[in-house]
């Protein structure tokens, strides 16, 4: 019987690998197009100059980011090159401080601290940290918190002071703002910004 012949199954293994790899290659090409900054799902870095929201879209039955009018970050509008450099710096800070070994982003990382996918939009900045840090914008509140998290503890699991400079903290803020505008197929579900009445 052919099924008892190892060679039959070897052929099966090789062909299943070839078929799935071809499909994977095609999907990879398409996906990379969609997820490049400026692609269909991932905004260009200059999105940090805009207002960002997160709303339920009824006909798609999922939550989607919205990109609104101009909203300077730290009182500044960034050129494409400046925006990219700032966000790049933010990524380096996030990696060098091992942020995703406590936090998650897009749900990937460690599960000890909150997910950062929509951290920029979190209503807690308005409700908790803006009063605590005595700042007037969300961006300043995040930057102040990131530089001295130990001064603004809100819970038993505290964030350690990772010695971020002001530049580094602002770069992380820019990064979080950019990330919050990525279309993540409706993840996280039910997230409400302060403007939408979230707590």
Token code pair at residue 89: 């710096």
What is the rounded radius of gyration, in angstroms, for the C-alpha atoms of the chain?
21
Measured from the CB atom, the residue of 73 and 171 that comes closer to another protein is 171
Closest separation between CB of residue 197 and another protein, Å?
10
Helix, strand or coil, per DSSP, at residue 54: strand
Distance separating alpha carbons of residues 12 and 2, to the nearest angstrom: 12
Phi and psi torsions of 145, nearest 5°:
-60, -45
Closest separation between CB of residue 110 and another protein, Å?
5
Closest separation between CB of residue 149 and another protein, Å?
10
Rounded (10°) CA dihedral 160, 161, 165, 170: 40
Closest separation between CB of residue 41 and another protein, Å?
5
Closest separation between CB of residue 189 and another protein, Å?
5
Measured from the CB atom, the residue of 69 and 177 that comes closer to another protein is 177
Closest separation between CB of residue 183 and another protein, Å?
6
Measured from the CB atom, the residue of 69 and 160 that comes closer to another protein is 160
Measured from the CB atom, the residue of 4 and 136 that comes closer to another protein is 4
Token code pair at residue 15: 């062909």
Measured from the CB atom, the residue of 69 and 140 that comes closer to another protein is 140
Measured from the CB atom, the residue of 69 and 123 that comes closer to another protein is 123
The DSSP result for 58-122, as a single string, is GGGTEEEEEEEEE--BTTB---HHHHHHHHHHHHHHHHHTTGGGTSEETTEE-SSS-B-TTGGG-
By the 8 A CB rule, do 54 and 120 touch? no
Distance separating alpha carbons of residues 146 and 141, to the nearest angstrom: 9
């Amino acid at each position: 019987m052919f099924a008892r012949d190892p060679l039959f199954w070897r052929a099966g293994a090789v062909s299943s690998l070839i078929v799935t790899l071809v499909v994977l290659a095609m999907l990879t090409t398409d996906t990379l197009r969609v997820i490049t900054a400026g692609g269909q799902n991932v905004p260009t870095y200059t999105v940090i100059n805009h207002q960002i929201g997160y709303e339920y879209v009824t006909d798609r039955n999922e939550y989607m980011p919205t990109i609104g009018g101009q909203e300077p970050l730290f009182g500044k509008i960034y050129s494409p090159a400046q925006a990219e450099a700032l966000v790049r710096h933010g990524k380096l800070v996030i990696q060098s401080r091992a942020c995703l070994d406590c936090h998650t982003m897009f749900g990937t990382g460690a599960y000890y601290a909150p997910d950062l996918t929509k951290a920029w939009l979190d209503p807690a900045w308005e409700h908790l940290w803006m009063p605590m840090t005595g700042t007037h914008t969300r961006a300043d509140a995040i930057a102040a918190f990131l530089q001295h998290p130990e001064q603004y503890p809100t819970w038993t699991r505290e964030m350690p002071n990772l010695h971020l400079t002001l530049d580094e903290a602002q770069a992380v803020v820019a990064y979080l703002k950019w990330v919050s505008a990525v279309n993540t197929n409706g993840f996280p579900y039910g997230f409400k910004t302060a403007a939408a009445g979230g707590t």
